[in-house]
Structure 1
């Protein structure tokens, strides 16, 4: 990103993973975040890590002018996510989510105009029996993120929306980026638990 982000699942997950792997830290970790106060991360025996983040339930709003053209498809509904600063947009099905090729310049202009961090597109899984319940993608080109591979913070809005719509608390989201990623979610009042895995891909020392 080109700016400091207020809430980042990547950073929290990676830091918890590194503290456990490199420093041998066990149990719950507590992080102080400028946006949302204390965040906790709990490492599990299977290697997964659960992040405890504030929920960001959406408020339905009219589809912003220019969004259908920027996405190449008209959303069924749009929701602002409060302090998180994203626009959650619901598309008809997974195939549509996967096929979107957004006009990123137009998305950047729209998010600047509307005071948003980014745009989430989402749809239900195509049927039961899959390893996921809904799909999503996330674009934040004005902040330097053309398409994020997996966005923990976006799932603080996705989880409340889909839990209410599906009628089940524990769900799994598939972020359908080129890399993809699965995020297990659970809504607990005004908090959302996000569970996933981290992998170390680079190890080095920074010198100043």
Structure 2
């Protein structure tokens, strides 16, 4: 089993410690078993832990919640890029990650990290019969992509005040549901919250991958390609978005809060 590996906790999509979304980042020296990686995800007990190692100019990157591997994760990718640069593992202007969602890249723009991700467009669908009851509010729109349901509600106050019934949301297929509305602040385009009990996360503080769906969703409604977004969980987070064809550039900041060694 791997031992004495560097491991970090990084708060992503924020420039303040103890805000944003905490992610684990574990630097692995080579291929390891899925069981071991899942054990690390459970031990870290964060929304996601990234495990990465360098292979032929790329970084092999996988993401694990405490309960399951996920196909796409923005905040742990942002955290991985932050650690590679700030801890001196890599000085390249662009980092390339091989993942279950294809090749993803990270670059720098001042003190912001820019991720290049695929769009994850939704299609309108009929709401599961229990979804409105689970969220406890009227639903203006319901759609779904390969990972999540997306729901628009009336306004930001509704998003902020949500107290979902998790026992009902656990019946959803996939990760869970993204809830969104237009923002109150004219400097912000939209707000969201994300509930993913399907992978063991009742509420994800800030979710880069959800914005792969939220970006094109609001592109259709606001008729623009660049956005400022807030995820209004208790910890909160700030994202900048730019849609380019079938890709989306997701920008955020990050702060390292913990450095250690994984000894077994």
* Shorter-normalised TM range: over 0.9
- Residue aligning to 1:120: 178
TM-score, with length taken from structure 2: 0.73
Q: How does 1:172-187 map to 2 (within 5 A)?
A: 172-187=228-243
**8 Å contact 1:28–1:41 — kept in the other structure?**
yes
TM-score, scaled relative to structure 1: 0.92
Q: Does 1:80 align with 2:144?
A: yes
Counterpart mapping for 1:103-182 below 5 A: 103-109=165-171, 111=172, 115-126=173-184, 128=186, 130=187, 132-182=188-238
Are 2:174 and 2:198, in contact at CA under 8 Å, matched by a contact in 1?
no
Cα displacement (A) at 1:126:
2.3
More strand by share: 2
From 78, 81, 95, the equivalent of 1:29 is 95
Tell me how far 1:194 sits from its aligned partner: 0.2
Q: Distance in 1 between matches of 2:87 and 2:81?
A: 10
Higher helix share: 1
Task: List 4+ stretches of structure 1 deviating above 6 A.
Answer: none
Structure 2: distance between partners of 1:180 and 1:96: 16
Match of 1:53 in 2: 117
How far, CA to CA, are the matches of 2:199 and 2:224 in structure 1? 33
C-alpha distance in 2 between matches for 1:21 and 1:138: 29
Please say if 1:63 is aligned against 2:127. Answer: yes
Aligned equivalents of 2:207 and 2:140: distance in 1?
Answer: 22
- Structure with higher RCO (Cα < 8 A, 6+ apart): 2
Secondary structure of the 1:204 match is strand
| Contact 1:104 1:141 survives alignment (8 Å) | yes
Are the equivalent residues in 1 in contact too, given 2:193–2:233 (CA < 8 A)?
Answer: yes
- Please say if 1:5 is aligned against 2:67: no
Question: Hey, what's the Cα distance between the residues in 2 that align with 1:149 and 1:181?
Answer: 7
- CA RMSD, 1 decimal: 1.1
1:136-192 deviations in Å (ceiling 9; x for gaps): 000011211010110000000000011121011110110010011011111111111
Q: 2:155 touches 2:181 (CA, 8 Å); kept in 1?
A: yes
Deviation at 1:127, TM superposition (A): 5.1
Structure 2 unaligned residues grouped into runs of 5+: 1-64
Q: Which has the larger radius of gyration?
A: 2
Q: How many residues align?
A: 198
